[in-house]
């Protein structure tokens, strides 16, 4: 059965403070709801989900979390940040149930938390967190979505490549979000400055179309592309997690080896900085990234 409950009181909630939502270990978290008032989503900054002091996912702000949830057309509520561990956009219930933040002791997790920096400009912040959990099954780890950030400087408008996205062995990539909002220059059109993002894996191009045409495919598959903020390479847009990009393969001896080359070839409408949010699918464990 699912359990819905309030999490421990969040200490030291005040403008300018760093706070932690403590997640009692033992069960599998499907979602965390953070209710907030007296502070905006943009003022909830440097959000990090951690276990045993190891990073799982990171977001620059609550606004970014909302933007990524909006891409997947996930149900949202004003004044609530939702950390979805079970990927509700997947079409098969069995796939959705495979996802979750499993804190069973068999995983070796002793501490789990979500850390947040409250902007000093927040008026009178109030934060309360609630959890949706299910009972863990010992020895059956859940898939985790691990969101990692990286930045790329673009020196001029035109074509550029990104060839240093980490490729952890055993993990897969569900989506790559490229954030480069319109800078309001002479090219101003209200759209993300990344006008095309190709995905090349070992010299095969898996995403050879413009950002606007990619957004049409995504819309037709139930997504809500955030075209003013981002261009997205969505590899599971049909709701099938099996279409995520595996970052390794097995050789004839059964050894897992990393793919040789993965890069993005992009076109930008202007110079600036691109922020990548990469959604990895992986499990928790010793030696995992």
Q: Which domains are delineated in the chain?
A: 2-141 (2.60.120.730), 145-283 (2.60.120.730)
Q: Give the pLDDT of residue 283.
A: 86
pLDDT for 44-101, tens place per residue?
999 999 999 999 999 999 999 999 999 999 999 999 999 999 999 998 877 887 899 9
pLDDT for 183-220, tens place per residue?
665 556 678 999 999 999 998 999 999 999 999 999 99
Mean pLDDT of the 224-252 span: 92
Name which of 118-127, 231-240, 279-288 the model is least confident about: 279-288
What percent of the chain clears pLDDT 70, i.e. is strictly above it?
A: 97
pLDDT over threshold 60, residue 13: yes
Q: Give the pLDDT of residue 257.
A: 78
- List the beta strands (DSSP E) in the chain: 2-6, 18-22, 28-37, 44-51, 54-61, 80-84, 101-102, 112-118, 126-134, 143-154, 158-162, 172-179, 194-201, 204-205, 230-234, 245-246, 248-250, 256-258, 262-268, 272-283
pLDDT over threshold 90, residue 254: no
pTM of the full structure: 0.94
């Amino acid at each position: 059965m699912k359990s819905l409950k309030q999490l421990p009181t969040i200490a030291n909630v005040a403008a300018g403070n760093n706070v932690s939502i403590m997640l009692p270990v033992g069960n599998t978290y499907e979602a965390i709801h953070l209710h907030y008032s007296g502070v905006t989503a943009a003022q909830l900054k440097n959000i990090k989900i951690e276990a045993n002091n190891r990073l799982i996912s990171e977001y620059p702000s609550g606004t970014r979390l909302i933007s990524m949830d909006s891409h997947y057309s996930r149900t949202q509520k004003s004044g609530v940040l939702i950390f979805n561990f079970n990927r509700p956009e997947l079409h098969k219930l069995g796939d959705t149930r495979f996802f979750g933040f499993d804190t069973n002791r068999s995983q070796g997790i002793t501490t789990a938390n979500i850390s947040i920096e409250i902007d000093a400009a927040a008026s009178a912040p109030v934060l309360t967190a609630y959890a949706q959990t299910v009972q863990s099954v010992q020895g059956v780890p859940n898939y985790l979505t691990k969101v990692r950030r990286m930045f790329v400087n673009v020196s001029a408008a035109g074509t550029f490549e990104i060839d240093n996205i980490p490729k952890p062995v055993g993990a897969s990539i569900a989506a790559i979000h490229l954030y480069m909002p319109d800078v309001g220059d002479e090219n101003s059109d209200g759209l993300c400055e990344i006008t095309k993002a190709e995905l090349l894996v070992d010299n095969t191009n898996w995403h050879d179309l413009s950002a606007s045409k990619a957004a049409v495919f995504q819309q037709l598959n139930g997504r809500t592309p955030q075209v003013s903020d981002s261009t997205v390479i969505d590899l599971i847009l049909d709701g099938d997690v099996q279409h995520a990009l595996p970052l390794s393969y097995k050789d004839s001896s059964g050894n897992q080896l990393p793919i040789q080359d993965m890069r993005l070839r992009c076109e930008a409408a202007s110079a600036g900085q691109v922020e990548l949010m990469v959604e990895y699918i992986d499990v928790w464990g010793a030696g995992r990234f």
